[in-house]
Structure 1
């Protein structure tokens, strides 16, 4: 039985850090474990220009604890008015590593997202030319489409036509939640990959709704049927380089979660590695954990894997995490996976004080 595992330091390829006091309060939960993260740009107002990304990058850097090493990988929020030249300047400078596509109204702070996909064609053409990836929130927002079907419909109505029109565009299907997403990513070729969250490997829609509504399990895309969760698990533990970790860790204070119209988002940054070790052990696939968390993402983004190492140790007693993170913007409840994980993650000494 494996009780200790050393892997390259992981990265998070989909992360919400928010801003202000919330950023300061929750960033250490990520920088304590992850070497890099793709930072989501859906602030209010959103990060739409090179200047916006520079300013946000500076605020993130200022919030990193002195004894942590962490690199924020910036993105721009794609709108129908995005300037291709400004976008390319941000990419050429090394500041941004991707562009984020939100269909308008699909999730938190997506009001400025895309409604008419034909209007973003010039930007997508430029991105394909320079090899800049497009991160996609893959859901339609049509009122006649059931919320549990929005990912599958998006693949058929939007993603497949978009990729056929822009064949050289590199695309990441973010936080896939369905067997449809898994199957599409598998056959999509070298220009397509998909991220999978921690929580979608653990919860299904019964966990949200059965026995009373669980607001802290509510996220977008919403968790689906058990058959879809099992398909996600199979993809994550397969070792396929089409799939890698993007936690979509998305903090909201409890006042905004526990209300008549609660916000979508689950905060998993602090206990993701412990939860994943538990999941991969259940699937007899601990030998595939490094690929999912530390190797496949850098490969798709054409970046080197981290040189630092993380050691995961299975201890006799469960690993204890705080129930809440206290921030100046309010208390943030930590994801409760519903099981006790005995795995504890520790970085090697050279990851700190550098």
Structure 2
């Protein structure tokens, strides 16, 4: 039985760091295990210009602990006022790694997102020309579509037509949550890949709702039925190059989660690697953990894998993680997998 594995140092291809005091509190947790991360631009106000991205990157780098080896990969927030030339210039300067599409109202701080996809086709066509990836929050936001169906409806009515219109566009469908999403990413003819989160591999909607509402499991896209969780597990552990890790670690203060209208987001950066080793061991796929966390993502984004390594060791004693993290503005709760984690990150 395998009790120790060493992999290339992982990357996180979907991360929320927030800003200010929150960023300074959570950034060290990502930098401890991950070498690079695609940083989401949904700040208030959002990161919409190259100037915004440069300033945000500077704030992130200034907040890194001494000696940390971590590279933030910046993104721009796509709006209906985004100019193709601005996007191309930011890409040419090496400032941005991707552009992020939020359907307006889909998730936290997405109110500045896109309401009419056709209006941003000039930007998307330019991105296709220069090979700049589009990261997509794949949900429709119309009130007549059930929240558990929004990903599938988005794929069928928005994403598939988009890839037919602009087949050269390089798309990452982020945080896929359904078997339909898995099948589409695996089989679509377009240039597409999909990220999968830590928490969607570990929980389903029963964990969030049975026996009482657990607000720290509330996220968007929302967790689905167990059958979808199992489809995600099969995809993540398959080694298929179109699937890789994007934690979507998204911190919110407890005061914003534990309230009558709580925020969506799961903070999982500290214990993700222990969680993933647990999942991959359960699926008999520890030999494919490195592909999911450390190889497929860099290949997708045209980067070399990290040369440094990370070692995990399974021990009788469980790994201990703080249940809550203190920030200057209040406590922040870590994702709870609901059981002990025996895989320890040892270096």
Band of TM-score, shorter chain: over 0.9
Do the aligned partners of 1:9 and 1:294 also contact (CA within 8 Å) in 2?
yes
Match in the other structure for 1:263 = 263
* Alpha-carbon distance in 2 for matches of 1:230, 1:168: 31
Q: Which residue of 2 aligns with 1:112?
A: 112
Return the TM-score normalized by structure 2: 0.99
Deviations 1:16-65, CA, capped at 9 Å, x for gaps: 00000000000000000000000000000000000000000000000110
Hey, what does 2:15 align to over in structure 1? Answer: 15
Distance, in Å, in 2 between the alignment partners of 1:270 and 1:335 is 9
CA–CA separation in structure 1 for the residues paired with 2:132 and 2:325: 35
Contact 1:168 1:191 in 2 (8 A): yes
Q: TM-score by structure 1 length?
A: 0.97
For residues 279-313 of structure 1, give each alpha carbon's deviation from its aligned partner in whole angstroms, at most 9, with x where no partner exists: 10001100000000000000000100000000111
State the partner residue of 1:306.
Answer: 306
CA positional deviation for 1:182: 0.1
* 1:218-297 pair list within 5 angstroms: 218-297=218-297
Alignment partner of 1:204 is 2:218? no
Alpha-carbon distance between aligned partners in 2 of 1:210 and 1:313, rounded to the nearest angstrom: 33
User: Helix, strand or coil for the counterpart of 2:244?
Assistant: strand
Asked if residue 151 in structure 1 is aligned to residue 151 in structure 2, the reply is yes
Q: State the shift of 1:329 in Å.
A: 2.6
Which residue in 2 is equivalent to 1:352?
Answer: none
Matches within 5 A, 1:39-188: 39-188=39-188
Name stretches of at least 5 consecutive residues in structure 1 with no aligned partner. Answer: 348-354
The aligned counterpart of 1:351 is none
Q: Given that residues 47 and 76 in structure 1 are in contact (C-alpha distance below 8 angstroms), is that contact kept between their aligned partners in structure 2?
A: yes
SS at match of 2:14: strand
Structure 1: which 4+ aligned runs deviate by more than 4 Å? none
Deviations 1:218-275, CA, capped at 9 Å, x for gaps: 0000000010000000000000001000000000000000111100000000000000
Between the two proteins, the alignment pairs up a number of residues equal to 347
Counterpart secondary structure, 1:32 = helix
SS at match of 1:82: coil
The question of whether the paired residues in 2 share the 8 Å contact of 1:4 and 1:312 is answered with: yes
